[in-house]
Structure 1
Amino acid sequence: MAERTLGGALRAQASERTALLCGDTSLSYVELDREADRVARHLDSGERIAFLGKESPHYYELLFGCSRSGAVLVPINWRLTAAEVEHIVHDSGATVIFADRSCAKAVPEMPIVWLEDFEHWKASAPDGKPVESGPDDAVAQLYTSGTTGLPKGVVLGQRGFFEVRAALEDNGLDWLDWRADDVSLVGVPGFHIGGLWWAVQGLTAGITNVIMPAFAPAEAVRLVREHGVTITCVVPAMLRLMLDEGQSLQGLRKIVYGGSPISETLLARCLAEVGCELAQIYGLTETGNTAVCLPPSEHVPGGARMRAAGRPYPGFAAEIRDAQGKPLPAGEVGEVWLRSPANMLEYWRNPTASEESLVDGWLRTGDAGCVDEEGYVFLRDRIKDMIIVAGENVYPAEIEGVLAGHPAVADSAVIGVPDERWGESVHAFVVTREKATARELMTFLQGKLASFKLPLRYEFVEAIPRNPSGKVLRRVLREQFWGDRDREIN
């Protein structure tokens, strides 16, 4: 683990072993190393390049090419609307976008390399050897929203992708591990930190990685069985859909999951039908993915720790603090602060937000919770109001801002409500100044927001509860849905 750059770690793995399998395409480590160099010769240090498309080997060639050149990859969710894509491209200052033709309607006016022309683009690379960037240099910039609804660019350094594995290996822990004969399924897309981080772990460990262009449960099960997949990282909703296919997944030795806790029912079913180890990870894009883990040993149905998110890795830390930033004792609920060597470098071109979130080496998560005497983190609520729908982050302020544009809408508030299939679903409370129907509002939102952000239900009310300063009292709205639960996060 001495090498802490993606490009350097790839070079150390160079062999004829298959690195990536995606559909009919495969790349060995030697081939991926060569293609990363060809990409790198096109790019300049500090340059932002955008990627808009489904998972493919091209995505990882670009990622490792960025590592070799000092450029920064900006992956974009291909499910976003044209306006959402344009904001990210404009904010990032990307000089070129690599895009799939299926996303053509969302691509803004700018230099484009269509992925079908990617081989031709690489072939035109100038001569010369790219200059390797360093462990502390940026390599990826992922966009995540907040209470304002405006996505911010989270800048991640190369070193951060290696910190968790190093901490576990240095302390002889196998909470998460990658063995020489492992085959990994990458089902979470690379525009999510979870998918990007998981793929990088497999590629820097030198194992074979099976890439899905887009998750489909039947296809995921087929790939597990056909390629002898032994490890994967999913969200619980994906795992449930895979088990519902009714095919044996007993080749899996470990399932890592995040995005939401696993239910007792799903845990028991997984242990009975698959018989593998499970590990839960918790973190944010801003923490470089995971900072806390619930190890396999704690995954016991009915176990006392199954309600925990986990505990920090060695060398990582979690504290609960009050509104003034003062640490609280064990058991008291406050905001979760995380200290991680993998924390983001900054929010891109947003020093105010960076200073508010990064404080003396700690990151304010915006999640509310408590820590027990042994350091296990228990989440209770989301201070930042984020909703997680099958692993996708959804921010109420963004939806409310678009709803405000409908002439009949006088006020609105959006919350997440429990959903047995997806973890949470989006529920909108709406005050109208003239008659409107749920269908009319749904039609109005379509095309303005990605489909996973659209409310499943609209509830028309006389007024939105607010405090004296005008802030929406979301806890009041959530009470009818979450009142009988011990936490307001599913």
Structure 2
Amino acid sequence: MEPLDARTIPDLVRAGAAHYRHREAVVDGDVRLTYADLGAEVTRCAEALAARGVAKGDRVALWAPNGWRWIVAALGIVSAGGVLVPLNTRFKGPEAAYILARSGARLLLVDDGFLGNRYVAALAEAATETPTPDLTDIVPFAEWDRFMAVGKAVDAVVYPDDLSDLFFTSGTTGRPKGAMITHSQTTQLYVTWSDLAQLREGDRYLLINPCFHTFGYKAGVIACLLRGATIVPQAVFDVPTSLELVQREKITVLPGPPTLYTSMLDHPARSAYDLSTLRVAITGATTVPVVMIERLRAELALETVLTAYGLTESCGTATMCRPDDDPVTVSTTCGAAVPGVEVRVDEASGEVLIRGYNIMRGYFNDPAATADTIDPDGWLHTGDVGVLDERGYLRITDRLKDMFIVGGFNAYPAEIEQVIARHPAVAEVAVIGVPDERMGEVARAFVVSRGPVQADALAAYCKERLANYKQPRSFVFVDALPRNASGKVLKTTLRRA
């Protein structure tokens, strides 16, 4: 089987091991795995999980940064017949515990201690408020060799329509929900994505986008496996490290949010590095300055610079620019619908709707939320407002759900508001996204206090309970929140404040 013909991820791993056998698959520091090596490691991991009792359909969580172990673990989970549940490395204990409980994950693979974060201890502390009764096994990466040493044959047979992963995404209620995606949805969509991105065999892909996000896992790991590209994971974004990796590993493909490119373009030491191998850049649907696209092409001589748009619920992708699109099109639109997918804009509300084979099977164990999001005709209601031009190219103009994007990560006001509202000195709170030169947008909290409280105290409170990208960068104390006649907070008024 050719990798591009695979319709399950285990088949993709096996096809890659056979077809690209001696080509490098993963380069992570001193660890260099060929496609044959990767296939063998994934098989060992699947067998180790089977020995731990993981059976078909079991949810297995992965809480770790980009790295060769994350890749092996993720592919091992689905090869054992399990369902991958990635956790954001920035999560605090209560945030992770909620997803573990909601997904019913029975095993957790975790890089405990990453950047000083004691993930296991944080879960234990959160257990009193958010118990995780289904979680019966935790495997720290520090015990990786011992874990991998004990295995048994995998009995599970994986089919294209089986669930492959649950990526959790928040909504207006602030309660994360697991989007159910199958093996065939992922493999089919990223054959198309990798074609439009002009990903080629032998490409070397710097994987900075976090693997716990669909942009990192699906447009990164899966796309590379389909095309025989080399994955070079970077655990923490640091401009000098990225520049050094581009030079040393002769990186050709560099996807990421706009902040990644502007940080690299503006770094004072950029000229000291040889970046001549770079060929392709792909960024998300946040606002992209035309001048940035022009600089990427002029200063780095990139052949292809694309933007794309999608949601976790659409398997990460719905629209993409085409390789020959001009800089204005790339910077002002998200491209047109990918083949096999429909995009339209509701005439009344302006909401962007998506329909196609890439739409999730629903939210895990949440039929009510599923029915609110996918209508009877199969259209996914995105909550984004946009317009389509005469070519069918999409431009996002607003967000119905008030979500904003911080350095490439979705932040949901309701979730942040719930945390701040628990502070004993807070009577009411409303959160909005405000422009930020470096991160694109950051959170600002408008607070009605019920007692003496300082912004520093609220910032410290949030730091203990929220991932850093969700933490408000500013607090504005007000006597009352603006509301309409029905009592709804007028966030449009707050944005003008």
Q: Shift of the alpha carbon at 1:210?
A: 0.6
1:30 aligns with one of 18, 36, 50: 36
> How far did residue 168 of structure 1 move?
6.7
CA distance in 1, matches of 2:31, 2:148: 17
TM-score scaled by length of structure 2 = 0.89
Q: 1:18 — aligned with what? A: 24
Which of residues 84, 93, 96 in structure 2 aligns to 1:82? 93
- Equivalent of 2:373 in 345, 349, 357: 357
- 1:238-281, CA deviations, whole angstroms, 9 ceiling, x for partnerless residues? 11112223244231111011151321232222122111120001
2:210 aligned to which of 162, 184, 189: 189
Contact 1:180 1:207 in 2 (8 A): yes
3-state SS of the aligned residue for 2:79?
helix
* Distance in 2 (alpha carbons) for counterparts of 1:177 and 1:7: 24
Match of 1:485 in 2: none
Task: Provide the C-alpha distance between the structure 2 equivalents of 1:31 and 1:344, rounded to a whole number of angstroms.
Answer: 32
Match of 1:307 among 325, 332, 346: 332
Spell out, residue by residue over 1:335-360, the C-alpha distance to the aligned partner (whole angstroms, 9 max, x if none).
10011322212211111111211223
Are 1:142 and 2:142 counterparts?
no
- The alignment status of 1:462 with 2:487, answered yes or no, reads no
Alpha-carbon distance between aligned partners in 2 of 1:351 and 1:411, rounded to the nearest angstrom: 31
Asked if the contact 2:307/2:330 (under 8 Å) is kept, the reply is no
CA distance in 1 between partners of 2:193 and 2:70 (Å): 28
2:5 corresponds to which of 2, 7, 10: 2
- Cα-to-partner distance string for 1:276-316 (whole Å, 9 max, x where unaligned): 1200010011111111012233332xx36632221101221
Which amino acid is 1:366 matched to? G
Question: Is the aligned partner of 1:116 residue 2:160?
Answer: no
Counterparts of 1:44 and 1:466 in 2: how far apart (Å)? 51
Aligned to 2:248: 226
Give distance in 2, aligned partners of 1:227 and 1:305: 28
How many angstroms does 1:382 deviate by? 0.7
Equivalent residues of 1:148, 1:397 under 8 A apart: yes
Q: Does 254-263 or 81-90 show the bigger shift?
A: 254-263
> Which residue does 2:130 correspond to in 1?
none
Deviations 1:3-31 (A, max 9, x none): 21111112111102111111111211112
Match of 1:325 in 2: none
Give the equivalent residue in structure 1 for 2:409. Answer: 392
Q: How far apart are the structure 2 equivalents of 1:446 and 1:436?
A: 16
Q: Secondary structure at 2:465's aligned position in 1? A: coil
Q: In the aligned structure 1, how far is the partner of 2:169 from the partner of 2:315?
A: 12
Provide, for residues 430-474 of structure 1, a one-character-per-residue CA deviation record: whole Å limited to 9, x for no partner.
112233221121122221111221111111122212223322221
Separation (CA, whole Å) in 1 of partners of 2:299 and 2:475: 38
2:208 is the alignment partner of 1:208? no
SS in structure 1 of the partner of residue 57 of structure 2: coil
What is aligned with 1:483? none
The answer on 1:274 being equivalent to 2:300 is yes
Q: CA RMSD in A?
A: 1.8
Distance 1:100 1:216 in 2: 20
Instruction: Pick one of 61, 82, 102 that aligns with 1:71.
Output: 82
**Percent identity of equivalent pairs:** 35
Q: Which residue matches 2:184?
A: 159
Structure 1: gaps of 5 or more residues: 322-327, 481-490
Return the letter of the residue paired with 2:408: G
Instruction: Measure how far apart 1:157 and its partner are.
Output: 1.0
- Which residue is 2:128 aligned to? none
Which residue of 340, 349, 352 maps to 1:336?
A: 352
Q: Deviations over 1:411-441 (max 9, x none)?
A: 1110001112111011111112233221121
2:113 alignment partner in structure 1: 102
Residue 417 of structure 1 is matched in structure 2 by: 434
Deviations along 1:11-58, one digit per CA (max 9) or x if unpaired, are 111102111111111211112112222222313100111111112222
- Asked if structure 2 preserves the Cα contact closer than 8 Å seen for 1:145 and 1:152, the reply is yes
* Alignment partner of 1:379 out of 372, 384, 396: 396
Aligned residues: 464
Amino acid at match of 2:317: T
Structure 1 length as normaliser, TM-score?
0.90
Q: 213-222 or 59-68, which moves further after superposition?
A: 59-68
Greater helix content: 2
Tell whether the 8 Å contact from 2:285 to 2:309 is kept in structure 1 after alignment.
yes
Tell me if 1:254 matches 2:280.
yes
SS in 2 for 1:19: strand
Counterpart check, 1:292 vs 2:319: yes
Q: Which residue of 2 aligns with 1:449?
A: 466
Partner of 2:310: 283
Q: Distance in 1 between matches of 2:204 and 2:391?
A: 34
